[in-house]
Structure 1
């Protein structure tokens, strides 16, 4: 049997190794962050500042705009909190709220949730191909510093249909929906057999990279200058991936951190949407506190959620149906109860992140939290004037930044500011035009 041509071999094997690498790289766990005990391959010296992190949360049915946004005339640091932001008033100085922001040319209604962290245009069009998400862009550059380059989480997500995390080739990274499984991967030590199998997968990934590089190298003598330059870039990428695979192999023999929290029980029904959300916030907080990963995404798939339970409220209709309220007072009241519960859970997350100190600051100070939606108004499916709240991360907060609500300011500019905060000088990202205007470092 003849060997496949190099181009076919590269394409086929890269697909296999990528799936194995993603699955493999998410099985272990980093050591907890301790100022007196830093992993040798995580930070070069104890004098370096503690790491910075990112959590991106998208509720794909958004929030009632009239309850979320402060008045457009109420700007700056003296703005008056909106009804929903009143729920977060204890953290007023820890977050910034934006009006008049969106992703340029990201339309299509519900499909736009897949572009919340990519800003790829026209997701509802035929032949659409997504681009790399913010978390994966950063993970490709700093993900090797932790056992988990990233975590992709979800609540009530239809399997394989939605995610906030996308690879550079536009492939969806499936969400993990079980809090118990996230906890297991973070904190429960694998058996010697499981560790050996994990090392075998990592070794296989590296051997595939070696083989691909070997076949591609044989082509070099027959290529022109431009193609040789492209091939050199390819080799650089292969070597980088090999180094990251090596780092992943080192983590297999590092003990997992001990936490006082018990492994959670998975809610049995999609009705338990809010409890699932709370548990995923807890998993994100624990992952940050133990420096297990620095990139987390959480898709709150409200579109696929049924009539959900909210403590103290009577919800009689499905979440998606409520979003198309037609200004019905009954539906609006139920939807407001759901939205307020979202704000309450977000406030709990902020409180938890602020309760842990790290390098003279809190974990919230070191963690950028982006909370928002792909829909400015779920009732009409518009994708402009997105409800967006940005907390933590070492920025000057406590303000309402107002931009043109007709010709929106590009939200990807915030991504550039976040990349710079991570120490990644990358400009532009997606459809950005610069850094986020009005957002200053603390």
Structure 2
């Protein structure tokens, strides 16, 4: 796994890095595609410290065995990782021992499990004994740097907001995910993917700032290009909220150290025009599920086509290398992990049906963000954006201190 440059700064000097980074070509500095499913090098920034990851072992559709298979895969790839595993001790002890993880794992017993059918409000009231609550609590108490769970998305977001609280300046946190694209990095970032179905103009501005910070760190881009998802690229299209957001993001782009390309359409999601796609959670989640369904459908059609006859099978054999590369490119497991942005702590949501490869990808993404100190850098960016917004507001309203 390629080493990512330390592109962000902490709050003390976040403002000072803007001028120099604007003079560089962000497109030429893109890191390799974040194939987070394989072992990454121990000579990168992660090797400088012991990274503790808090993992909910009970939340996935495939059960704790699949989660611990993913933990084992990630552990083999990075010797600096240590894990706090949360769940039912009687089930987890033999699984941990069988995978020779005893020396890398601390076990936290939790009797209860958050199911996919549990309502977030109920989990918030009565979920203290669950593995998910325990997983988030480890980050809140500074015992772990990042939390990873395959469990109920709504409950995980609700508990994360309850225990970690929102960052200053954030009204609605967002879920950011990778979207395969033709860009040099191999992926675009899209948010919100379903944390909240609503988003007003100010929320979309916050998403733009957070998405740019995430792309800057996770994809290694100096100056990410941000686009606002709409039904067309013309400025007169869209509802009043989108038009207001367009104006706000345009004004914030300079201080936010990103390039705003304006409105983008659905066909830009996998394209090269943009690095970060901003939208509300309702639209983002529909787009995500549509993309997953379309990819699955296309794969099934291709499988049928290449097994329809002897000549088709021969063609498949001749094209085997190219087909494997295509499969790896669009394999959702390799970019598994939606990051909750806007909280006082990093939480990575793995797909509920993730196998060992997918879980390992989510863990390795969590480790990468922790190793880069992403949460502090994001807070610095949000503070800078908030300060810039207050300055703009004071100019528009008149400086009260001068009256």
Normalization by structure 2: what TM-score? 0.26
Larger helix fraction of residues: 2
Normalization by structure 1: what TM-score? 0.24
